[in-house]
């Protein structure tokens, strides 16, 4: 089979948005630096496969994430309209200045739900991280940009352990109050389970945050990313972060393995009769191409299952040749 059999799920969204993070969150965790031209080609292929939102890069300091030191070059290699529409991550006002200079119209900022990770990832406390973000978000909005906010360590922290839902909700609501239009709730070390996912999402709704403003970002460290995604679907979430080929993790959380693979997510969604706009076969081919560049097999189970079936057979190759 190349496509899943469709059996429409009850009380589930008719369509979802996939927020593709492989080009940024995926490649930033690679030991090798992928050349800018190949990153731009990767982005073009992801967009060509029907992914409507592809996070392109991050305007972070090169010494922090050397894999993304070529952010401007990558955007310059993309068609101007495409490069302006793709979201980019910015850590602070210096990053925002770079985004404005490139005409970017959609940015993402990031915060921590825990004290320890705020210190390790942002060199801030849980409270002072907002002092850093406030002028960044305000200037971005004044410049006509859309702003998304990531919240890390929403379901567990390797140093602090379980994270109270009320603490995550407080951080998230403060980001929305600053002007972020969407929150992406991150299971940074992949420890969440479906019941915990539902509990946190319900806590946000109970506090007055509609689920239309929430997205989820799952890692597959314990093999729970798809089951957690299904729980989020049942809670009414319609935006899911994922990474083509399962690329990525978190360079500041050593126990974090890859992101939820976009292909695995799409297979489940299409099987449930939920529209994504994604051409799964084209996406699989793209992830297999990137896996070849990185020199290792894709982490996505769907890529590993489908890619051999999509390759031309020996007979097909012979039939396409002439003497």
Burial pattern 287-302, b for ≥16 Cβ within 10 A else e, equals: bbbbbeebeeebbbeb
Burial class from Cβ neighbours inside 10 Å (0-12, 13-18, 19+) for residue 32 reads exposed
250 classed as catalytic: yes
Q: How far apart are CA 66 and CA 29, in angstroms?
A: 10
Helices then strands, counting H and E runs in the chain, come out as 13, 9
Q: Is 249 strand, coil or helix?
A: coil
Q: How far apart are CA 217 and CA 148, in angstroms?
A: 13
Torsion angle of the four alpha carbons 299, 300, 304, 309, in this order, in degrees rounded to the nearest 10 = -150
Find, among 108, 110, 88, the residue nearest to 99 by Cα.
88
Q: How far apart are CA 140 and CA 127, in angstroms?
A: 21
Q: What angle do CA 86, 133, 75 make, to 5 degrees?
A: 20
Q: What angle do CA 136, 103, 33 make, to 5 degrees?
A: 85
Tokens at 303, concatenated: 């890529």
Burial class from Cβ neighbours inside 10 Å (0-12, 13-18, 19+) for residue 198 reads middle
Are the CB atoms for 105 and 73 separated by under 8 Å? Answer: no
Torsion angle of the four alpha carbons 244, 154, 147, 139, in this order, in degrees rounded to the nearest 10 = -130
Catalytic hit among 250, 266, 269, 299: 250
Q: Is 83 strand, coil or helix?
A: helix
| Active site residues per annotation | 250
């Amino acid at each position: 089979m190349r496509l899943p059999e469709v059996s429409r799920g009850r009380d589930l969204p008719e369509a979802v948005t996939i927020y593709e993070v492989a080009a940024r969150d995926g490649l930033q965790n690679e030991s090798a630096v992928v050349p800018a031209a190949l990153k731009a080609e990767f982005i073009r292929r992801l967009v060509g496969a029907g992914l409507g939102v592809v996070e392109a890069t991050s305007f972070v300091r090169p010494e922090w994430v050397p894999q993304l030191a070529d952010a401007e070059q990558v955007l310059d290699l993309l068609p101007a309209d495409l490069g302006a529409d793709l979201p980019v991550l910015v850590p602070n006002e210096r990053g925002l200045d770079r985004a404005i200079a490139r005409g970017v119209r959609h940015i993402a900022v990031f915060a921590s739900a825990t004290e320890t990770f705020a210190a390790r990832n942002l060199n801030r406390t849980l409270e002072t991280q907002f002092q850093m973000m406030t002028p960044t978000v305000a200037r971005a909005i004044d410049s006509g940009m859309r702003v998304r906010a990531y919240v890390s360590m929403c379901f567990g922290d390797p140093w602090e352990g379980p994270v109270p839902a009320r603490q995550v909700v407080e951080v998230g609501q403060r980001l929305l109050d600053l002007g972020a239009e969407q929150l992406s709730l991150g299971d940074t070390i992949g420890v969440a389970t479906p019941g915990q996912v539902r509990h946190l999402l319900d806590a946000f709704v109970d506090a007055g945050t509609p689920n239309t403003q929430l997205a989820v970002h799952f890692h597959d460290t314990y093999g729970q990313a798809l089951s957690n995604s299904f729980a989020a679907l049942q809670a009414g979430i319609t935006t899911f972060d994922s990474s083509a080929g399962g690329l990525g993790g978190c360079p500041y959380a050593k126990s974090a393995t890859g992101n939820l693979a976009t292909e695995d997510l799409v297979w489940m969604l299409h099987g449930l009769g939920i529209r994504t706009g994604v051409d799964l076969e084209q996406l699989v081919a793209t992830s297999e191409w990137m896996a070849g560049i990185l020199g290792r097999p894709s982490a996505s189970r769907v890529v590993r299952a489908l890619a051999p079936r999509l390759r031309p057979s020996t007979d097909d190759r012979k039939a396409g040749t002439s003497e």
